[in-house]
Amino acid sequence: ERLGARTPAQLLGLGHGSPALTRALALIFALFLGVYGSAVIKGAALLLAQIVPLPVWALIWLVAAIVGLTVFIGGLRGVLYTEAMQGVVMLVGMLMLVGAIFSRVGGPWEGMVALAALPPTPLANNGFAALSSGERGLFILSLVVVTSIAVWAQPQMMQRHFAIADPRQLRKTSPLAMFILTVLVGGAYFAASLSRLILPEVASPDEVMPSLVRMLLPEFALQIFVLAIVSASLSTATGIYHIAVSALSEDLRGRPSNRLSWFTGIVICVIVSGGCAQIKGQLVALLCTTSWSIVGAMALVPYVALVRFGRRNATAAWVSAASGFLSCLAWYLLAYGPTSLWGPQLGSVAAGNPPFFIGFLCSGIGWFAASAVVSPMAEEAA
């Protein structure tokens, strides 16, 4: 509110004193978040297919429509209440699975003792080095960075600035949020590690959690767990829709949204995300990773400079955002092996250099170079 911002695009644009930057970011957010939302929508539809007797294509449109309806009716307040409700469902589902595993192995301590007694596999002897070495090493490292650092600048994370009416609320809610996060994330990793005691060899790590759920949980609990995972997807989707719709109905128009523009924005988001979700799963995953990386490379440096260090510089923000966006997109199209338009010859040279690293580096260089040339005081004087 101090910056006069109502949306993530306005937070960055108006925060750095550039309404034009708000519109540019809004265009990128609307386009790339609509594509990113398709992966979330499809993931929820695939899980719902386990308990709902409908084809996946129909469930995709159903999930997209439900998310759109939630955002249309409730706005940001509806997004926050929906996320809170879905967080409770996720917590219940994970507690049920972890409890079932503890019951099977005799308890957490007994499980760790039994796990330590198993003969180590060759990968276990190498630990993280086994993942971070070889031709896939940089890909694994980039995935860790993109999902743990680039997420700071994702618009759905910036949206949380508008969810806190009083900073003092943080002291009350942070402990509870950290507890729930510890149970959800820690429970998933702990359950997966103990799965070696009760599961046969699986062909893919992606099969571990579904196999545990089918083996350990009764039918009603299986449905609750599926709903818990779907809730995680819907929680993300509602936030993505709200930002994309805000960008279309307010930021690009340069004035507050009304009922008609809000509804039109939701229809566009439903069509884009639902349509993209109908394509093959591997391509959807690629689009998701690509959009996440490009948005993060474009917005991370200006966002951290503004929020963490209080540095406001319109020129530097423009140069940084443009450098991150163009370099990351160019690396995807011209150099990165899996997506290069030039084929494996040129792509193989740079296939190990993740586009987010290139975009983030160029964005940082752009910020510092522009800051050195044009200071905030010089902009105000002009």
* Alpha-carbon gap, residue 213 to 198, rounded angstroms: 12
Residue with tokens 């469930």: 59
Burial class (CB in 10 A: 0-12, 13-18, 19+), 239: buried
- Which two structure tokens, joined as six digits, stand for 138? 């940089």
**Higher pLDDT among residues 229 and 351, named by residue:** 229
The residue type of 146 is V
CA angle 23, 27, 29 (to 5 degrees): 110
Cα–Cα distance between 141 and 303 in angstroms, integer?
Answer: 23
Residue 85: pLDDT band (50, 70, 90) is confident
**Over the stretch 177-187, which tens digit does the pLDDT of each residue have?**
788 878 888 88
pLDDT at residue 125 greater than cutoff 70: no
Rounded CA-CA distance 88/108 in Å is 23
- pLDDT value of residue 24: 92
pTM of the shown model: 0.72
CA distance 332 to 187: 35
Question: Which pLDDT does position 213 carry in this prediction?
Answer: 78
Quote the percentage of the chain above a pLDDT of 90: 12
Q: What is the mean pLDDT of the chain?
A: 78
Q: What is the mean pLDDT of residues 225-241?
A: 76
Extents of the domains making up the chain: 8-121+151-278, 280-382
Q: Which of 133-147, 201-215, 285-299 has the highest mean pLDDT?
A: 285-299
Give me the mean pLDDT over the 333-342 stretch: 74
Who wins on pLDDT, 348 or 372?
372
Contact 35, 276 (CB under 8 A): yes
pLDDT at position 128 over 60: no
> What does the pLDDT read at residue 364?
94
Question: What is the per-residue pLDDT across 35-50, written as a single tens digit (0 to 9) for each?
Answer: 788 878 887 887 788 7
pLDDT mean over 63-73: 87
Closest Cα to residue 353, out of 333, 320, 331, 326? 331
Q: Which amino acid is at 286?
A: L
Judged by average pLDDT, the poorest of 66-80, 98-112, 155-169 is 155-169
Where b means 16+ CB within 10 Å and e means fewer, 64-101 reads bebbbebbbeeebebbbebbeebbebbbebbebbbebb
Specify whether the CB–CB gap between 22 and 317 falls below 8 A.
Answer: no
Does 352 score more than 70 pLDDT?
A: no
Q: Which residue has the tokens 């792509």?
A: 347
